Chain A
Amino acid sequence: MTIASPANHAQLDLGFARRGERTVMARRLFAWPFVLTRSFALDTVPAHMLTVIVQTSSGAVHGEDRLIQRIRVATGAAAHVTTQGATAVHRAHPGFTSREAIKLDVAPGGELEFLQEPRILFPEAALDQTVEIEVAPSGAAIIADAFTVHDPAGEHRPFRRLTSSTVLTRAGDPAVIDRLDIAALPRRRAVRFEAFGTVLLALPDSFAMCDELARTLTERLGSLGDLYGAASPLPMRAGVGIRLAAPDLRSVRAGIKATWTAYRLALHGVAPADRRSSAT
């Protein structure tokens, strides 16, 4: 998508509402590059969970992109939002930065699973991402964010810059501010870590087992091949945060899937239904 000046409206604007025993899309606005097809009811527990796969016509983020997404989950509704596949972030011309702003709101008793596929930073890519998440005290959310690097020429040319700001707000107060601003990946002589992920679990204030969930999840992540990961209770009892690192995206995806499964088991006692082999 190419826009000369920053957009001030969301190109993806979704609203989920509870209607009886179902969740419906009460608001369904999208514009280039986003594409939406039908939605799905895939889960038996929670039975009112509605699944949406957001696609992009461009298939990538380009240097001049100014993308805005807004997703609202109303009281008692439940939505699972994912994307069709990993998104390439292409080279930005000098002086340009691709920008993406995501705003997520979860009302009391609502649930949102926002599991975007990872970003792939190409040489000279420059991405500035902000994610603002407001989850009511009785609401719940899982938000995953992951990236890796790739040089099609195999020369390990670096991305130019990645800035990311994720703010989770509970009951009007910031509970987590997770910011990074990097122009290179951490170096390790022994293992080349090139894929990284962060997952935030915003849990209802009635959920009293954050410590136990973090401990169980850390043990599970430690059993997933070459994944290096850990879970830990977030500030202000807001939930659990997970960091993931691995040589490749496959292992980070496995970590996200394990986290999603643990989240569902903790909240509903049942693992999520399989979406598709690459959806998580």
Chain B
Amino acid sequence: MFDALTALALCQYGDSAYPAGGFAFSWGVEGLAADGLLEGSADLDELIGEHLEARWNTMDRPLLRRAFRADDLEAVAAIDRLADVSTPSAPMREGSRRAGRALLGVSARLGHSRSRAYRAMLEGNERLGHLPVVQAVVYRDGGLALEAAELVSGWTLVNGLASAAVRLGVIGHVEAQSSLTAARGHLARLVAEPCPDEQRPSSFTPLIDIAISRNPSRHVRMFTT
């Protein structure tokens, strides 16, 4: 499917050590664990499945595809605004923008032209910079094809969830590898299914939304989301 250079690029972008601040986001793992709704590897596997099926595949993926194919950065910004109004939870919006801007910053500092231009557009506009839209800009800048960009987008999410669960002590390092292996199959099945261009972004992750939206009321937390 991918040649060796692309496979290596996927490893690089999908590596949890990629300096885009992914370690700061748990995307609900921390909140659900604190609320007693996440207590081990089986729960984590459910959560990863819910994230992939009910948000990434139906919201992030269509946004990424549209932004990747956008003719110019004005069109990218319009998709970014759609991402913003399609995320009712303020902590999720803020997390998505922080993660997106961090990723964009790395790509811009590496000298990638589209990333630099889009980063300049974001100055003074607090609503823009959502992660799936920025992923489209950055991965296109990095020479990835759309299918590869989708894959690394889904995988960085999965990797982030498992990594957060380990750091919170919900699961151990070995259990995390089992979860990642299971998620690999899940993600591969999803990307093998078509994502029609006309698909309107949607999501239904109420428990994740609630867990993250409760964050401002928590006294102690490690993660932004």
Contacts and interface: CB of A to CB of B under 8 A. Distances in A.
Interface of A: 163, 165, 174-182, 186-191, 193, 196, 214-215, 218-219, 222, 228-236, 241, 243-245
Contacts, number: 102
The 9 closest A-B CB pairs, nearest first, are A230-B213, A179-B202, A241-B88, A180-B204, A232-B213, A230-B210, A232-B90, A230-B214, A233-B90
Nearest to A185: B204
A179 B206 contact: no
Contact of B206 (A176, A196, A214, A215): A196
B125 interface: no
Given A230-B217, A235-B93, 6 more contacts: A179-B200, A186-B205, A189-B42, A190-B39, A234-B88, A235-B127
B36 A188 contact: no
B174 interface: no
Interface stretch (B79-87, B143-151, B155-163, B185-193): B79-87
A165 B58 CA distance: 14
Contacts of A165: 200, 202
Contacts of B82: 177
Given A177-B86, A196-B206, A232-B90, A190 B214 contact: no
Given A219-B217, A235-B85, A235-B87, A228 B210 contact: yes
Interface of B: 35-37, 39, 42-43, 46, 49-50, 54, 58, 82, 84-91, 93, 127, 200-207, 209-211, 213-214, 216-217
A190 B90 contact: no
B36 A190 contact: yes
Nearest to A231: B213
Contacts of A243: 88-89, 206, 209-210, 213
B203 to A, nearest CB: 7
Given A188-B46, A215-B216, A235-B127, A245 B85 contact: no
B210 A189 contact: no
A244 B170 CA distance: 25
Given A182-B204, A186-B206, A190-B36, A232 B46 contact: no
Contacts of A232: 88-91, 213
A245 B204 contact: no
